[in-house]
């Protein structure tokens, strides 16, 4: 029954028209006389031909109408990591509107990632650079397709990037707490280049933090110093953005004679882990301790209590990124967008 394979040429012959006309019936129907068009479609139906095959079309046309989103992580990252999910959700929204497809590109080891990036059938890439951004950019660059990096952690201004104002965001977070009356702070950091865990001095932090995290640290310090709180008096603990390292940091912090009344977390993930630890250890949030996160992931809104955080303009980021790829209108310079402080239930005045 199945005729092996019906291709456009077969259809054309069967319908008694040239291949060119047959092609137009599908791709530019307005060019072909209605009568002919209907006949060809009729024959197509009989033959079980369902429109031109993408592989051929694409070869000729050059565009796939899909964009790739890449990260150096297992594929499941896109569905499990809160930030990645939030970004993807917004990208998905923009793609829906423009009818663009999404291909997920990733791998743990570089060998495979290189292959995957090279073989992905897409018109361009959005790079999630939270981990291994440099490698990712390097591999993608080779492909010679438009790409844009998100959360990229490197000064190289030749790389098209959409970022956020980390310093201003962090400053806003710290200012919010200090204005509520807090004076005892602690910072939970991520992004030590050596995955350092535990207390660090400000100098160590400046030296070993990746630029995103360093900017956030600088923002915290800056706002606090405006109120006379010097960085030397604000303990900083490195974490690996996972529960166990956050737990360890908090155990140390709350074993000191003057534990913090306010916690500045460099990610919502960390902040949520912190709130969990506090709840488990009998500290009320925000009664005993206030917590501020960073990123503005959806989970922050649904937590109990809601997490006060610095929200990234993800929708705007997604819109610009997708547009940049599809229109091949990459920003000549790196773009930096503003962030907003979202106040929820996890922050309040300190117990007097």
Partner DNA sequence: ATGAAGATTTGAACCGATTCAAAATCTATC
Partner DNA sequence: GATAGATTTTGAATCGGTTCAAATCTTCAT
User: Which chain residues interact with a copy of itself by CB under 8 A?
Assistant: 2, 48, 50-51, 54-56, 58-59, 62, 64-66, 74-76, 78-80, 85, 88-89, 92-93, 95-96, 99, 101-108, 112, 115-116, 118-121, 142-144, 304
- Candidates 48-56, 108-116, 202-210, 220-228: pick the segment binding DNA (CB under 7 A): 48-56
263's enclosing H/E stretch is: strand 262-265
To DNA, the closest distance from the beta carbon of 15 in angstroms equals 9
From a copy of itself, DNA, none, interface partner of 31 (C-beta below 5 to 8 A by class):
DNA
To DNA, the closest distance from the beta carbon of 289 in angstroms equals 58
- Buried b / exposed e over 153-176, threshold 16 CB at 10 Å, is beeeeebbbbbbbbbbbbbbbbbb
Closer by beta carbon to DNA, 7 or else 141 = 7
Question: Does 56 contact DNA by CB under 7 A?
Answer: yes
From a copy of itself, DNA, none, interface partner of 32 (C-beta below 5 to 8 A by class):
DNA
Give the closest residue to 312 by CA, choosing from 331, 293, 326, 325: 293
From DNA, a copy of itself, none, interface partner of 33 (C-beta below 5 to 8 A by class):
DNA
Whole-number Å distance between alpha carbons of 205 and 231: 11
Tell me which DSSP letter residue 234 carries: S
Location of structure tokens 């109408």? 65
Closer by beta carbon to a copy of itself, 115 or else 227 = 115
Q: Dihedral, CA atoms, 221, 232, 284, 167, nearest 10 degrees?
A: 10
Whole-number Å distance between alpha carbons of 121 and 127: 15
Q: How far apart are the first and last CA of the chain?
A: 83
- Candidates 53-61, 255-263, 311-319, 343-351: pick the segment binding DNA (CB under 7 A): 53-61
User: Footprint of DNA on this chain (CB under 7 A)?
Assistant: 5, 7-9, 16-21, 23-24, 26-28, 31-33, 35-36, 52-53, 55-57, 59-62
């Amino acid at each position: 029954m199945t005729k092996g394979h019906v291709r456009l040429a077969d259809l054309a012959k069967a319908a008694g028209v040239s291949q060119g006309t047959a092609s137009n019936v599908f791709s530019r129907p307005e060019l072909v006389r209605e009568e002919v068009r209907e006949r060809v479609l009729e024959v197509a139906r009989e033959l079980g031909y369902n429109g031109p095959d993408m592989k051929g079309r694409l070869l000729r046309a050059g565009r796939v109408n899909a964009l790739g989103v890449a990260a150096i992580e297992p594929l499941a990252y896109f569905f499990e990591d809160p930030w990645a999910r939030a970004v993807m959700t917004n990208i998905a929204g923009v793609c829906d509107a423009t009818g663009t497809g999404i291909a997920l590109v990733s791998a743990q080891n570089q060998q495979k990632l290189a292959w995957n990036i090279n073989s992905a059938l897409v018109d361009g890439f959005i790079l999630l650079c939270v981990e291994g951004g440099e490698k990712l950019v390097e591999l993608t660059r080779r492909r010679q397709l438009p790409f844009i990096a998100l959360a990229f952690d490197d000064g190289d201004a030749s790389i098209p990037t959409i970022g956020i104002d980390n310093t201003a965001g962090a400053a806003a977070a710290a200012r919010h707490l200090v204005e509520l009356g807090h004076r005892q702070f602690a910072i939970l950091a991520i992004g030590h280049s050596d995955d350092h865990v535990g207390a660090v001095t400000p100098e160590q932090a400046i030296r070993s933090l990746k630029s995103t995290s360093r900017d956030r640290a600088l923002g915290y310090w800056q706002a606090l110093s405006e109120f006379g709180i010097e960085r030397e008096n604000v303990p900083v603990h490195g974490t690996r953005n996972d529960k166990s390292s956050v737990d360890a940091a908090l155990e140390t912090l709350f074993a000191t004679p003057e534990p913090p009344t306010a916690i500045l977390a460099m990610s919502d993930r960390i902040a949520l882990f912190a709130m969990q630890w506090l709840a488990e250890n009998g500290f009320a949030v925000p009664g005993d301790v206030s917590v501020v996160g960073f990123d503005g992931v959806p989970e922050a809104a649904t937590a109990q209590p809601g997490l006060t955080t610095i929200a990234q303009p993800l929708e705007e980021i997604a819109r610009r990124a997708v547009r940049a790829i599809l229109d091949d209108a990459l920003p000549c310079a790196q773009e930096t967008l503003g962030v907003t402080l979202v106040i929820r239930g996890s922050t309040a005045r300190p117990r007097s």
